[in-house]
Structure 1
């Protein structure tokens, strides 16, 4: 399962694709079981370059009966700022937020971890 995400150009907000439009909540995102459908949506979204920056597909994992991003980075993006539980999208609470907070999966690094440790 996959979802399409990007950052809105006007304010940098993390947004998700839903049937031809961008929504702010991961819980509202359109999920793609078919890779071809996800790639078609990605191509359509990339043609709207004045709306979002670099839209891309993310992998999802089932969490508490709902779907959540597989990578830790994408879960953080979906929750909003994580400096305090009462900030960002996570402050809304609910089952979708709980699923995001309790999901587990891989975290990817492209070598930047060593730069951060310095």
Structure 2
């Protein structure tokens, strides 16, 4: 599974792709399975054509955690949770099953999407 993420240009907020628009919560993100690779790449292409809306859109790898999906890389889990300075700040303050899955997920240091982005620069 994969999801498309970026930062909103107007305020720097981490956003996720869902059916042609950007949403702020990872729980609302559109997930692309292995059978939807073409759709994921099309969404990434569409997002990259929005340079006045988002910065550096890229696909991230996901893993299953507690029956839900979470970003594979630690960096992406931090981005999905919000700031790490205190559990009562950011998106993590909302709580719920998705937040718990994000907090307990384990994975690699980087997802392939971010590695590909770094290689392109």
TM-score (norm 1): 0.90
Q: Give the match's secondary structure for 1:36.
A: helix
**Alpha-carbon distance in structure 1 between the residues aligned to 2:38 and 2:75:** 24
SS in 2 for 1:17: strand
Structure 1 segments unaligned to the other structure (5+ residues): 111-118
Question: Residue deviations 1:32-52, cap 9 Å, x none?
Answer: 012111101000111111100
Runs of 4+ in structure 1 displaced over 2 angstroms?
A: none
Give the total of aligned pairs.
109
Match of 1:114 in 2: none
User: 1-side partners of 2:38 and 2:68: how far apart?
Assistant: 22
List aligned pairs for 1:1-118, cutoff 5 A: 1-33=1-33, 34-108=36-110
Q: Which residue of 2 aligns with 1:113?
A: none
SS in 1 for 2:63: strand
1:56-107 residue CA offsets vs partner (Å, 9 max, x unmatched): 0000000000000000000000000010000000000000000000000001
Question: Could you say what the CA RMSD is over the residues aligned between the two structures, in angstroms?
Answer: 0.9
More helix by share: 2
Q: Can you give the 5+ residue segments of structure 2 that lack an aligned partner in the other structure?
A: 116-121
Q: TM-score, normalised by structure 2?
A: 0.88
CA positional deviation for 1:31: 0.3
